[in-house]
Structure 1
């Protein structure tokens, strides 16, 4: 099967790339290893996306999918295993098929960074989670510890509190990195913050029962009884496909692009969180649109 553009990833960036490519008349395929939406499905609420005072991530994804689907082919649960460039064509091999394309847009995003502490792996799915909207309802009226200090961690803490969980936030510094409006909400909801502390161990029997915290300032340890630990300490770029293609990465492993979302490899573009621009929905959409427009024009003109 031949396409003009293959988009790898169906988060906000990938869906927007498909939208813009399809509307220009390009034959576009979007491949997604999971469900359409990617990490966008995990966002409890968005309050800074134009046109919406407040909207759930999964609702916005559903609206985007509904808009894009008539214009492009979307294949869910089909992971891309390799991309090779041969004879001016890209051969994209998935877990189910092989496809040819003239251009590729990488919108592979990131995955959750782990704490790498004792008990984390053992209790995944049994008290350790990385997605409040996925697992939060299992912990209503239970004690929850959210780990992190950025937007994601504070958003998760606010969401968990809103559905009836008993929430505390632990952060390794004495100041949050989250946006001010989120910090205000955290304070308004009386969500306690344990400052200058890191999780040293997660313990329990059949499920999580407690964590051991280490205070970096006082050098003291304390045990906090919890039923669940939600980890939101950042992301790791999913860059294997880019690396195998010879795409240039920065020192943190994110794909480097120019202002038109071109990479150093001809007819390979990148958009969204994989490029390490601000992790904002609107930024991902913008980059997806630019990548598709650039790919269309480059193919049309036969330019790099």
Structure 2
């Protein structure tokens, strides 16, 4: 038998926890599902300095505070990896590897994950010089030489951001030209702080056991191995939405991002989405929290309208 709730929130990052909080405060019975511990990518962030109200807070600490607020409001929490969702109109059936859940509304907050380059040192120095977000971590490396790995829009945009903080931003790209939009390329080439290293194959991210000290790459033309001394490495070789479980629903674009309107509603009535899995530009804790609050309220209105429709149908029966 499926466990019954008003709302199932899939994903317990900042967007999911906020959506669950707002829905629970509207007197709805809410369960939040995640395949791991609550907090999402905040758990992998050593310090957060750009979240309003906190000048310096550890990522896991902020996750704990958000979870405590949701739990106090009555949100339940359960482990489980979602495999699929069935749309039954007025209800949705959520299948996980642990249990099945039935709800009137679902909020998708599964996030996205950065693609890894898979070289020695990447995992070892993650959070200690290796980053996938310049806006999040760039200020920690102010004044230090930095490396950016990639040549698309994100790599160039984040490189330009880092060039405000560092006099030497080395952009390593595996081809002999960038893939970014021309307007971004023009800005980057005109920036004296940005230096481009073409035809590279990253070999390793080097460190002293505590932090990053440089990168080693292979020149694909000459075959020669070279090193650059840097204090931080920012990797932008793509980002993948964690939405495989929702492929049967008509809510994804051709790259797997969830499409919503300004009210966080998808094309399927009763299915909402927030956070990094959405098709959007800025993926930050602040944007996820804002979307979560909006989704939580929209869920309440949707369930109220659903109840009105059911009552009207029963009255005419």
**2:25 alignment partner in structure 1:** 23
Of 151, 170, 177, 1:193 maps to 170
**2:189 alignment partner in structure 1:** none
Matches within 5 A, 1:105-116: 105-115=107-117
Shift of 1:24: 0.7
Matches within 5 A, 1:1-16: 1-16=3-18
The 2-side partners of 1:45 and 1:147 are apart by 12
The alpha-carbon distance between structure 1 residues 203 and 176, as it changes in their structure 2 partners (threshold 3 A), is: closer
**1:267 alignment partner in structure 2:** 270
Please list the CA deviations of residues 60-92 of structure 1 after superposition, one character each: whole Å capped at 9, or x if unmatched. Answer: 11110111112210124x211221123632221
The alpha-carbon distance between structure 1 residues 184 and 55, as it changes in their structure 2 partners (threshold 3 A), is: farther
The 2-side partners of 1:176 and 1:201 are apart by 17
**Which stretches in structure 1 are left out of the alignment for 5+ residues?**
137-143
Q: Does 1:301 align with 2:302?
A: no
Q: Does 1:248 align with 2:242?
A: no
The 1-side partners of 2:125 and 2:265 are apart by 32
**1:37 alignment partner in structure 2:** 39
**1:140 alignment partner in structure 2:** none
Equivalent pair of 2:138/2:162 in contact (CA under 8 Å): no
Please list the CA deviations of residues 191-215 of structure 1 after superposition, one character each: whole Å capped at 9, or x if unmatched. Answer: 76353236514369xxxx9742448
The alpha-carbon distance between structure 1 residues 83 and 101, as it changes in their structure 2 partners (threshold 3 A), is: same
Q: Does 1:129 align with 2:132?
A: no
Equivalent pair of 1:211/1:224 in contact (CA under 8 Å): yes
The 2-side partners of 1:154 and 1:214 are apart by 29
TM-score (norm 1): 0.74
The alpha-carbon distance between structure 1 residues 230 and 170, as it changes in their structure 2 partners (threshold 3 A), is: closer
- Give the secondary-structure state (helix, strand or coil) at the position aligned to 2:158: coil
Please list the CA deviations of residues 143-184 of structure 1 after superposition, one character each: whole Å capped at 9, or x if unmatched. Answer: x6x487xxx15755765x69xxx9742344598523977544
TM-score (norm 2): 0.71
Which range is displaced more, 294-303 or 2-11? Answer: 294-303
- Give the secondary-structure state (helix, strand or coil) at the position aligned to 1:297: helix
Equivalent pair of 2:135/2:161 in contact (CA under 8 Å): no
Of 84, 87, 105, 1:85 maps to 87
The 2-side partners of 1:192 and 1:267 are apart by 46
Equivalent pair of 1:263/1:269 in contact (CA under 8 Å): yes
The alpha-carbon distance between structure 1 residues 295 and 203, as it changes in their structure 2 partners (threshold 3 A), is: closer
The alpha-carbon distance between structure 1 residues 301 and 202, as it changes in their structure 2 partners (threshold 3 A), is: same
Aligned Cα root-mean-square deviation (Å)? 3.8
The 2-side partners of 1:301 and 1:178 are apart by 43
Equivalent pair of 1:44/1:155 in contact (CA under 8 Å): no
Equivalent pair of 1:170/1:197 in contact (CA under 8 Å): no
Shift of 1:28: 0.4
Equivalent pair of 1:42/1:131 in contact (CA under 8 Å): no
The 2-side partners of 1:43 and 1:55 are apart by 10
**Which stretches in structure 2 are left out of the alignment for 5+ residues?**
172-194, 206-213, 310-317
Matches within 5 A, 1:132-171: 132-133=126-127, 136=128, 146=130, 152-153=133-134, 155-156=136-137, 159=140, 168-171=146-149
Which protein is bigger by CA-based radius of gyration? 2
**1:212 alignment partner in structure 2:** 217
